[in-house]
Amino acid sequence: MVTGATNGVGLATAAALAGAGAHVVMAVRNTELGARRADEIGGRTTVIRLDLADLSSVRGFPARLDEAGIGGIDILINNAGALFQHRTDTADGFEATIATNLLGPFALTNLLLDRVRSRIINVGSQAHESATLRLSDMHLRTNKWTVMGAYAASKLAVMLWGLELDRRLREAGSPIASQLTHPGWVDSNLPALSDTPVMRLVARGVKLVAGPLANDAAAGAATTLYCITEPIPPGSYVGVDGRFGLKGVPVLIGRSVQACDYAAAARLVQFAEQETGTTLAIR
């Protein structure tokens, strides 16, 4: 199962898996676009609606899986993520970046954990290295909100969630392994995120230099596929080997000191449990 499978790295991941013979559940917000993408990539696919920014959609997802005849999930790939140009609150009252990148995937994983047979892969980002973690203000209601500040904080939160998830899986002796990845800098759909003249100009500049400096979507998907195909340890963080983590082939890499803080990870999970009303309970 791949979230955010209509564009970019998610689509490339779904295409590679379907091409290898896997039955891929494409969990997407726009099912009409999802159906078109499924036709394009071919293979065995099932498109099911999921809006990670809306907890009611997340809570209803297991029932939609059942309606589609999907029981167990071999590999859950939490790929979907978002970067917002303006501060937005979701219907649940959450800041949209942390809602989409952490709280939605966190709740989804907890609700599907009994169905997962083999592996959970969470897509993080090297942006986590520049983040400031404010556990008392995760929605940035009192501290200043910026586009990249909110995004980096959400990705540090994903890294810490992955750290605690791996710890609990190992402690429980679970057969499920979890890994974290980052795809490098991927030249995907930045112009589509740009709704002002200045941002469109910036996006055009980014696209101009992205060719020599960035991975394409297929190369970005390679870090996730590496977790599936290579005998790497549970809890690994897979990135790319290029300078500054921008471009290259998959390798095991290190993470920031903040992303290795088990005490902070436990508090982060407690926050996510309280906000989503779901529990990271591993049997």
Which residues carry out catalysis? 151
* Strand 23-28 versus strand 44-49 pairing type: parallel
Whole-number Å distance between alpha carbons of 49 and 30? 7
Structure-token pair, residue 163? 């750290």
Whole-number Å distance between alpha carbons of 14 and 86? 29
What order do you get walking across the sheet with 250-252 strand by strand?
44-49, 23-28, 2-3, 73-78, 116-123, 177-181, 237-240, 250-252
| Helix 104-112 / helix 55-67 crossing angle, nearest 10 deg | 30
